[in-house]
Amino acid sequence: MQVPAPFQYARATTVDHAIELLNEGGDSARIVAGGHSLLPMMKLRLANFDTLIDINGLHDELGYVRQEGSEIRIGAMTRHRELLESDLLATAFPIFRDAEHVIADPIVRNRGTLGGSLCQADPSEDLSAVCTTLDASCVIRGRDGERVVSMEDFHRGPYETAVGDAEILVEIRIPVRPGGSSAYFKVERRAGDWAVASSGAAVWMSGGVITDARVGLAAVGPNTTGIPAISEALRGQTPSEELFAQAGALAAQACSPAVDLRGTVAYKRHLADELTRRALRKSVERINGQGA
Amino acid sequence: MTTVETRLTEFADNNEKPVGYGRMLRKEDPRLIRGQGNYVDDLNLPGMLHLAILRSPVAHARIKSIDTTAAAALEGVVAIVTGADLAEKGLAWMPTLSNDVQAVLATDKVRFQGQEVAFAIAKSRYIARDAIELINVDYEILPPVVDVRKALDPDAAVIRDDLKGKTNNHCFDWETGDAAATQAVFDRADVVVSEEIVYPRVHPAPMETCGAVALFDAVEGQLTLWSTTQAPHAHRTVYALVSGLPEHKIRVISPDIGGGFGNKVPIYPGYVCAIVAALVTGKPVKWMEDRSENLSSTGFARDYIMKGEIAATKDGKILAVRTHVLADHGAFNGTAAPVKYPAGFFGVFTGSYDLEAAYCSMTAVYTNKAPGGVAYACSFRITEAVYLIERMVDCLAYDLKMDPAELRLKNFIKPEQFPYTTKTGWVYDSGEYERGMRLAMELAGYDELRKEQEEKRARGELMGIGISFFTEAVGAGPRKDMDILGLGMADGCELRIHPTGKAVLRLSVKSQGQGHETTFAQIVAEEIGIPPSDIQVLEGDTDNTPFGLGTYGSRSTPVSGAAAALVARKVRDKAQIIASGMLEVSVADLEWEKGSFHVKGDPSKSVTIQEIAFKSYGAGDLPEGIEGGLEAQICYNPSNLTYPFGAYICVVDIDPGTAQVKVRRFIAVDDCGTRINEMIIEGQVHGGLTDGVGMALMEMIAFDEDGNCLGASLMDYLIPTALEVPDWETGHTVTPSPHHPIGAKGIGESATVGSPPAIVNAVVDALKPFGIRHADMPLTPSRVWETMQGRHVPSI
Ligand SMILES: Cc1cc2nc3c(=O)[nH]c(=O)nc-3n(C[C@H](O)[C@H](O)[C@H](O)COP(=O)(O)OP(=O)(O)OC[C@H]3O[C@@H](n4cnc5c(N)ncnc54)[C@H](O)[C@@H]3O)c2cc1C
C-alpha cells in the first residue's frame, strides 16, 4: 500500500464554501474531485498539499448535463460515467461517448470528473481534447464571481490552467450548432492506458459542404491542441479522402510529440495523421446518417 | 431462483466427486473468492510495529554519509537502522540463491535504483513512510552501467568492487553442447540463418507484493516469520545459516499467497530487515512493500540477448542450433537455479527437434539494475530457450519459404525415439509431438486460416498465423544433479488418516493460487479412495510440514505430487495388512477397489478404508508386527525431470493504419501427462497464455540511460486485461511420464513458456509483406509500426 504524507481534510458543502476554504488554505490547499489523478500523485509522493478540500458533496450542485438555449452545459462534478451514459450528449456530441469508452476503466470512470480532467491539464487527458474539439468554454468561479474562458485560454501549459488558487471550475459550456457531428479515436497500448495519441474531430455541414470543422489532439504536445489550419483547410470543401488526408497531414505537422515508452515521435506523428483522418471520416459519416 | 444455499450444496456436491482425478471446483476458492483468505498483510499482532525501507534514488553512487537525526526524532519512530548498524551485527550482506552476495542495506555503494539503504521502524505504516523521507543520504554519483552490451567495456565502472579483486563486470561464463561438432555441421549445411533475439526484462508483478511479519520471543529464543515465500523450508534454512539462530527455533509460515510467479522465491532484504527489526525492538514488526518497490527492486525475469543460428538442409531438415547469450543479471546474481545450472535449464534450447549438434555459450554480466533473474513462471530459463528456438525455426521457415507447421512436423523427435537424449544432455522422458501438433492444426482449422490469410493479403489486410511448439523440463530435480545452496531438491510428504477416515496431507511446497489444496487432495483420493473433501492439505508452515524445496519451476506436481501418490500407496499397503486381519485372509487374497479391500472372488466380504482407519486406532489386536495408526511419510527424489510439451497456434490481425495488434484466436494444445483436475489445468493455461500476451505485446521493465527504472508502476508496466485476450481455445493430448508414479508432468508454466513465441511468430507472419523476418518484444503499436517502416531495431 502506498501512503501519502500527512494532510488536512475538509469537506465543502457548497461551491461558495469550497471557495472560502480555498481562500483560507492558500496555495497549499487543493480541491479533490474524483481523486483519480490527485491521489496517485500524492501516494507516490510526487505531490503533497497541506489541505485537501473534498468537493464530492457538491455533486448535486455541479453534476449535470443539460441543454440551455443553444448550449449544452455540463457541471464540473459530472463523472465520466455520467458523461458516458448521457443520451443528450451522445446525440449532440457523439465524440463524448466515443472518448468515454476509451478513458481509463469503469472504476476510474465511476469517480473521475470532467472538472478534474480539465483541471489536471495532463497533455494526454482525453476530455481536454474533446472540449477543445467542441470549442467549449469554461466557467470559473471565485470570491469575486464568475468568468468564462475559452479552452485555448484555459490550458496554460502542461498541468497548468487558468484556474487561480482560490477559484474553482464549475461548468463547461458547449455551443450546439445544427448540421454537425463528431468522433474520437485513440490508440492505447492496452485498455485503460493513457493515449499514445488521440484525435477528436467535429464537423458541421450544409448542403454537402463543410461549413466548419475542428480537430483536437491529445498526447502529442504540451497541451491538447486545436488546429486552426485544419479548420481553414476544411471550410467550404466537399468531404473526400483527399481532404481528410490533407487534414491528417496538417495534424501531423502541427503536433509536437515527445518520445516515451508509449511510442516514438515518428509514430505519434503518424497517429495524429491517421486518427485525424478517421475522426473526420466518421464525423461526416455520422452527419450523413451512416454508421453509429 | 438460485439461492446462496443451493449454490453451496452445488459446491459440496461437486466436492464429493470425483473420488480422484476429474473436474471439480477448487476447495480453496470459497475462502479466497469471499475475501476470507489470510494473507501476510492481514496479520495484525498486538503491539505490532511497521517498517518502511528507504531506497536509493539513483542507480550507482557511493554513500558518503547518512544522517538519521531528523527521522529518529519524528514522533512515533522507534528506530532507524542503516547499513552501518547491520554491519556491526555482521548482517549487512546475505547470500543469494546463486552463491553470490547481496547487500541487505547498502554500506559502501548503491548499485541499482531502488536498492535498500536504511529502514525506519515506527508505530504505523504512515509514520514509518514519513520517517524515511527525513533520512538524509549524501551520495557521490558514479557512472551507471545500464547498457548490457557495454558492461564489459574496459572503461565501464566496476559495480561489484565489494568482491575481492573484481576489476570488471563479468558475472560468469557458461557453455553447453559440443562447439566443434556444431561447427562441423554448420560448415556443411546448405542453409544457415542467424538472428539476434532479445528477450527483454519483464516482471512477474504478482497481485500481492512481498512482505513479512517477524515476531521474536526473547524468552523462548523463538523467531516466527510470516512471509510471502514460495519456499518456506529453504528460507528457514538460509535464515538459520545467516542469522546464527538455531534452525529449530525458526518457524517460517507462508499463509495464503496472492500470486508468486517466481517473484517470491528469493530471500529479499526486506525479510531480513523485518527479522532484524523484531530482534532489535522485541516487538512484532510488519514490512509490506508497495507496488513501486515490488516492480523496481524484486526478482525480474529474462533479460537475455540471444544470438541464434540455425543450420539446415535446403529441404528443411534442421541439423544444428547454436547460440551465444549475453545475460543481464543486474547488480547481484540472484538467479534461482540449481547450483550446477547457472543458466537454469536454458540447455533445452534444442527444442522439440531431432538435431545432429548443438552448442551454447553464455556470458553473464553485472549491471546497475535490480537483481533477480528468476521469475515470471521462473521456469529456470526455459522460457528464453523456447523463445529462441521457436523464433529461429520461424526465421528458417521464412528463408526456406516453407510453411512453419510443415517445417516443425518434419523435424520433431519421433515417439519411438523416447527417452531421447538431446545434444545438450537432457533426457526427454516421453512425447508424441506430431499428435499434439496435428490436433492444434485441426482445432485451428489451419489450412482454412492460411487461405483466409492469402485472401486478406491480396486486399492489403494484415493477418498473421503463428505457431510454437515447446518442450519444457520441469520438476527439479534429481538429487544427484540438482541442489540450491547445497539443499537437494527432493520433497518430503506426510499423510495421516484419522480414526474416522478423514485425512491430513502435509506438503513442503506452497501454493500461490495454483489450487494445491484441491489437486493434492485429488491425488491422494485417487490412491486411497477417500473423497477430496475429506482430505485436508497443509502446507506453508515449517513447524508442521516436512522439508522440501518449495513451489516454482512447475515442480509441485512432478515432485510433491509424486510424493503424495507414493505416501498414499504406503498408507494403502499398511491398510491392506490391517484389512487382511479384519477379513481373516492373507494379504495376497485381497483386491483393492478404490476405497475398499475385498476378498478376491467375494466382493461381499470387504472393508472400507474408513473402517480400516478406525480399526488401526481401535481396540483389538492388529496383524503381527503392525503398529497402530494409519499414517506414513516419505521423501521423494525424482529420477529425472518431466517434459511437458504443447502446440500453440495464434491468429492476429494488425490494423495497417495504427499498427495495433489484436490477438483474434489462440489455440493451445497441452500435454502435461496424466491430468488430475481439468479445470485447474485450464486455469493454469489461461493464466499463462494471458502472461504471454503481456510479454509479447506490452510488458517490459525499461531503464533510461541513467539507470532509472521506467516501469515502476502499473501505469508504466502494463499487464494485459481481459480486453486484450481472446477466448482461449484449449485442447490436450496425454502422454504420461514413464518415471512419475502417476504419469503427471506439471502444467504451471507451459503456457507462459509456449505463448510468447506463438504470438510474436504471428505478428511477424502478418508483417511478411513488409519483408520482416524478426521483431523484438514487446510488440507495442509503436514498435510494430516502426518495424513496418523498415526500422528493424526500434528502441520503443
Ligand atoms: C488508472 C487510470 C487510468 C486513466 N486513464 C485515463 C485516460 O485514458 N484518459 C484520460 O483522459 N484520463 C485518464 N485517467 C484520469 C481520469 O480521467 C481522472 O479521473 C481525471 O484525470 C481527473 O479527474 P478527477 O475528478 O479524478 O480529478 P482529481 O484527481 O480529483 O483532481 C485533479 C486535479 O484537478 C483539480 N480539480 C478537480 N476538480 C476541480 C474543479 N472543479 N475546479 C478546480 N480544480 C479542480 C484538483 O485539485 C487536482 O489538481 C486515468 C486515471 C487512472 C487512475
DSSP per-residue codes, B259-297: --TTTTSSPPHHHHHHHHHHHHHSS-EEEE--HHHHHHH
State the CB neighbour count (10 A cutoff) for residue A60.
Answer: 10
Beta strand pairing status for B93-95 and B191-202? unpaired
User: For B657, which of A2, A196, A274 is closest by C-beta distance?
Assistant: A274
Q: How far is B169 from chain A (nearest CA, A)?
A: 28
Cβ A37 under 6 angstroms from ligand 1: yes
| Contact criterion met (CB < 8 Å) for A261 and B716 | yes
- Cβ–Cβ contacts within 10 Å for residue B716, how many? 18
pLDDT at B377: 62
CA distances from B552 to A261, B232, B549, B664 (A): 31, 12, 9, 31
pLDDT in tens, A249-292: 999 999 999 999 999 999 999 999 999 999 999 999 999 997 66
List strands edge to edge, sheet with A168-175.
A65-68, A71-75, A168-175, A137-142, A145-150
Omega prior to A222 cis, within 30 of 0: no
What is the distance between the alpha carbons of residues B54 and B487, in angstroms, rounded to a whole number? 33
Taking CB atoms and an 8 Å cut-off, how many pairs form between chains A and B?
77
Report the alpha-carbon distance of residue B579 to residue B572 in Å, rounded.
10
Strand partners for B102:
B94
| Alpha helix stretches (DSSP H) within B95-243 | 125-133, 179-188, 232-243
Using a CB-CB cut-off of 8 Å, the residues of chain A touching B41 are: 1
ipTM of the complex: 0.96
Q: Which chain A residues are within 8 Å of B785, Cβ to Cβ? A: 263, 267, 270
Whose CA is closest to atom 51 on ligand 1? A36
Compute the distance from residue A35 Cα to the ligand 1 centre, in Å.
Answer: 6
Is residue B766 helix, strand or coil?
helix
User: Are B291 and A6 inside 8 Å of each other by CB?
Assistant: no
Which are the contacts of A15, defined by CB distance < 8 A and separation ≥ 6? A58, A61, A62, A141, A168, A170
Instruction: Residue B12: name the closest of B27, B32, B31, B34 by CA.
Output: B27
Reference B55, options B709, B762, B638, B757; nearest CA is: B709
- Phi-psi domain of B687 (left: phi exceeds 0; alpha: psi -120 through 50; beta: other): alpha
Cβ(B371)–Cβ(B180) below 8 Å? no
Contact residues on chain A for B715, CB-CB shorter than 8 A: 40, 193-194
The C-alpha cell that represents B441 in the structure block: 492444426
Pick from B133, B657, B782: which is nearest to A263 by CB?
B782
- Tell me how far CA of residue B541 lies from CA of B395, B427, B550, in angstroms: 48, 34, 11
Q: Which residues contact B229 (CB under 8 A, 6 or more apart)?
A: B235, B252, B254, B264, B265, B267, B271, B510, B550
Give B716's contacts in chain A (Cβ within 8 Å): 261
Report the amino acid identity of residue A38. Answer: L
Chain B residues at the A interface, defined by Cβ less than 8 Å, are: 41, 125-126, 129-130, 133, 288, 290-292, 657-660, 697-698, 700, 702, 710-711, 713, 715-716, 718, 720-721, 723-724, 780-782, 785-786, 789, 794-796
The letter for the amino acid at A212 is D
Cα A86 to ligand 1 centre (Å): 19
CA of A120 to the centre of ligand 1 (A): 6
> What's the one-letter identity of residue B284?
P
Q: Determine the pLDDT at residue A292.
A: 60
**Quick one: which atom of ligand 1 is closest to the CA of A62?**
41
Chain B nearest-CA distance from A4, in A, is 8
Does residue A113 line the site of ligand 1, with CB under 6 A? Answer: yes
B316: which 3 cell numbers?
Answer: 528443411
Residue B115 exposed, middle or buried by CB count within 10 Å (0-12, 13-18, 19+):
buried
Cα–Cα dist B86/B84, whole Å: 5
CA-CA distance, B613 to B498, in Å (whole number)?
7
CB-nearest to A190 from B129, B721, B785 is B721
User: Which chain B residues are Cβ-neighbours of A5 within 8 angstroms?
Assistant: 130, 133
Element (H, E) at A98: helix A94-101
pLDDT score recorded for residue B2: 34
Spell out the long-range contacts of A280-283 with Cβ–Cβ below 8 A and sequence spacing 24 or more: A280/A183, A280/A201, A280/A203, A280/A213, A280/A215, A280/A234, A280/A239, A280/A243, A280/A244, A280/A247, A281/A241, A281/A244, A282/A183, A282/A185, A282/A201, A283/A180, A283/A181, A283/A182, A283/A183, A283/A201, A283/A202, A283/A203, A283/A213
Of B747, B749, B760, nearest to B695 by C-alpha is B760
pTM for this prediction: 0.96
CB contact under 8 A, A259 and B796: yes
Distance of CA B236 to the CA centre of its chain: 20
Residue spans of chain B under pLDDT 70: 1-17, 373-378, 793-796
For CA atoms B596, B597, B598, B600, the dihedral sign is positive
Contact list, A270 vs chain B (CB under 8 Å):
785
* Alpha-carbon separation of residue B264 from B229, B238, B676 (angstroms): 5, 15, 26
Q: Which of B767, B756, B766 is nearest to B648 (CA)?
A: B756
Report the residue count for chain A. 292
Q: Determine the pLDDT at residue B6.
A: 39
- Summarised one tens digit per residue, pLDDT across range B730-767 is 999 999 999 999 999 999 999 999 999 999 999 999 99
Q: In this structure, are residues B301 and B201 in contact, taking their beta carbons and an 8 Å threshold? A: yes
Residue B372 to residue A132: CA distance in whole angstroms:
47
Could you give the maximum distance between any two Cα atoms of chain B, in Å? 86
Contact B514, B688 (CB under 8 A): no
List, in sequence order, every residue forming a beta bridge with B5; answer none if it has no partner.
none
For ligand 1, the distance from its centroid to the CA atom of residue A112, given in whole angstroms, is: 6
At residue B762, the pLDDT reads 98
